[in-house]
Structure 1
Amino acid sequence: MKRAFTILFLTIISISCNKPKNGNVIQGKVENEQIAIVSKIPGKLIKILVKEGDLVHKGDTLAILDIPEVDAKKSQAEGAVISAKAQYSMAVKGATENQLKQLEAKKMGLKEQLEFAKKSINRLSNMLKDSLISQQTFDETFAKYQGAQAQYNAVLAEIDDAKKGGRMEQQTMALGQQERAYGALKEVETADQERYIIAPQDMSVETITLNLGELALPGYTLFNGFISNSTYFRFTIQESKLSNIKKGQEITISIPYKNKTIKGVITTIKQLSAYGNIATAYPDYDMQESLFEVKITPKNISESKDLITKTTVTISL
Structure 2
Amino acid sequence: MKNTLSKSVLFILILAVSGCSKPVRITEGKIKRETLAFAPKVTGRVLKIYVKEGDFVKRGDTLAMLDVPEVNAKLSQAKGAVKAAGAQRDMAKHGATANQLTQLRAKKMGITEQFKFAEKSFSRAKAMFADSMMTPQAFDEALAKYNGAKAQLTAVNAEYNEAVNGIRPETRTAALGQAEQALGVLQEVEVALSERYIIATNDMQVETISLRIGELATAGFPLFNGYLPNTTYFRFTIPESKIGNFKKGENIEVNVLYNKEKLKGKIQTVKQLTRYADVTAAYPSYEIEEAVYEVKIIPDDMNAAEKLLVNATIIL
Compute the TM-score of the two structures, normalised by the length of structure 1: 0.70
Match of 2:163 in 1: 162
More strand by share: 1
Q: Secondary structure at the match of 2:229?
A: strand
Quickly say closer, same or farther: Cα 1:258–1:228, change in 2 above 3 A. farther
1: CA distance between counterparts of 2:297 and 2:164? 76
Quickly say closer, same or farther: Cα 1:313–1:100, change in 2 above 3 A. same
Match of 2:95 in 1: 94
Post-superposition offset of 1:41: 2.4
Post-superposition offset of 1:246: 2.7
Contact 1:251/1:266, CA 8 A, preserved across alignment? no
Match of 1:37 in 2: 38
Moved more, 288-297 or 48-57: 288-297
Post-superposition offset of 1:186: 1.7
Contact 1:250/1:266, CA 8 A, preserved across alignment? no
Which amino acid in 1 is paired with 2:263? Answer: T
Q: Secondary structure at the match of 1:28?
A: strand
2: CA distance between counterparts of 1:55 and 1:221? 17
- Give deviations 1:156-215, integer Å, cap 9, x for gaps: x86764365311111111112112111211221121122111223111111112121111
2: CA distance between counterparts of 1:280 and 1:297? 18
Q: Secondary structure at the match of 2:231?
A: strand
Structure 2: segments with no counterpart, 5+ residues: 1-22, 114-126, 128-152
Match of 2:271 in 1: 269
Q: Secondary structure at the match of 1:89?
A: helix
Match of 1:16 in 2: none
2:76 maps to 1:56? no
Match of 1:11 in 2: none
- Give deviations 1:108-127, integer Å, cap 9, x for gaps: x89xx9xxxxxxxxxxxxxx
1: CA distance between counterparts of 2:178 and 2:194? 25
Which amino acid in 1 is paired with 2:269? Answer: T
Post-superposition offset of 1:302: 3.7
Quickly say closer, same or farther: Cα 1:104–1:248, change in 2 above 3 A. farther
> Identity across aligned pairs (percent)?
48
* CA RMSD, 1 decimal: 3.3
Quickly say closer, same or farther: Cα 1:188–1:176, change in 2 above 3 A. same
Post-superposition offset of 1:274: 3.2
Contact 2:39/2:221, CA 8 A, preserved across alignment? yes
1: CA distance between counterparts of 2:27 and 2:274? 16
1: CA distance between counterparts of 2:296 and 2:165? 73
Which amino acid in 1 is paired with 2:276? Answer: A
- Size of the alignment, in residue pairs? 259
**Within-5 A mapping of 1:305-316:** 305-315=306-316
Q: Secondary structure at the match of 2:223?
A: strand
Match of 1:204 in 2: 205
Contact 1:265/1:299, CA 8 A, preserved across alignment? no
Which amino acid in 1 is paired with 2:268? Answer: I
Structure 1: segments with no counterpart, 5+ residues: 1-20, 114-135, 137-150
2: CA distance between counterparts of 1:164 and 1:253? 87
2: CA distance between counterparts of 1:102 and 1:287? 94
Q: Secondary structure at the match of 1:228?
A: coil
2: CA distance between counterparts of 1:164 and 1:295? 78
